[in-house]
Amino acid sequence: MGILALQGDFEAHAKLVGRLGALAREVRSPPQLDGLDALVIPGGESTVMTLGIEREGLAEPVRALAASGVPVLGTCAGMIMLDNDHLGILDIRTSRNAFGRQVRSFEAEVELAGVAGGPIRAIFIRAPWVQEHGEGVEVLARLDGHPVAVRAGNVIAVSFHPELSGEARVHELLLAAVPSGSRSA
């Protein structure tokens, strides 16, 4: 599984993926996407991440990877990167820092559709929510009425940071989307 490692909290994702028994490969340039069975775009700062993606020429290869059916997970700023105003991989429009400036960071219990074992402990840090989405996008969870977890086929996005609460079930959802037999780094 690849973790986009230009900026943000990629190390926490790599640790969690390791705990799940998958190999994590840090991705900083297009050749490092080759042969990946899944990709995580972590949280961080979406403006800085956008510049890094442009600088490294990663936009097209990441779009091609997602279009080929490889599962992709975006968390927080990673959700923003997937939307129609950025990489255009997921038919959503996000609102940045949507929960307001005063409430920069908080934790909540979030019920995630299709995930057993009770609500997820979710950490929100200057988090976005989904402002609009196309018909093909399934809302997996809402908070205060706003979508905070969505999915369209092999692409999943969450507003929060599962990797920071040690919550493995979102990454398990990603791994479950990998066709068996094609698991690699």
Q: CA 91 to CA 83: how far, in whole Å?
A: 6
Say if CB 141 and CB 148 are below 8 A apart. yes
Q: Which is nearer to ligand GLN, 63 or 96 (CB)?
A: 96
Strands (E), 43-185: 72-75, 92-95, 105-110, 120-125, 129-133, 138-143, 146-152, 155-158
Binding of ligand GLN at residue 45 (CB under 6 A)? yes
Of 86, 133, 163, 171, which one is the catalytic site residue? 163
**Residue 107 annotated to the active site:** no
Pairing of strands 25-27, 138-143: unpaired
Q: How far is the CB of 158 from ligand GLN (least distance, A)?
A: 11
Q: CA 148 to CA 161: how far, in whole Å?
A: 11
Binding of ligand GLN at residue 123 (CB under 6 A)? no
Q: CA 183 to CA 164: how far, in whole Å?
A: 25
Using the rule CB under 6 A, which residue among 24, 70, 76, 152 binds ligand GLN? Answer: 76
Q: How far is the CB of 50 from ligand GLN (least distance, A)?
A: 9
85-114 residues near ligand GLN, rule: CB under 6 A? 96-97
Using the rule CB under 6 A, which residue among 4, 80, 90, 156 binds ligand GLN? Answer: 80
Task: Point out the residues that are catalytic.
Answer: 76, 161, 163
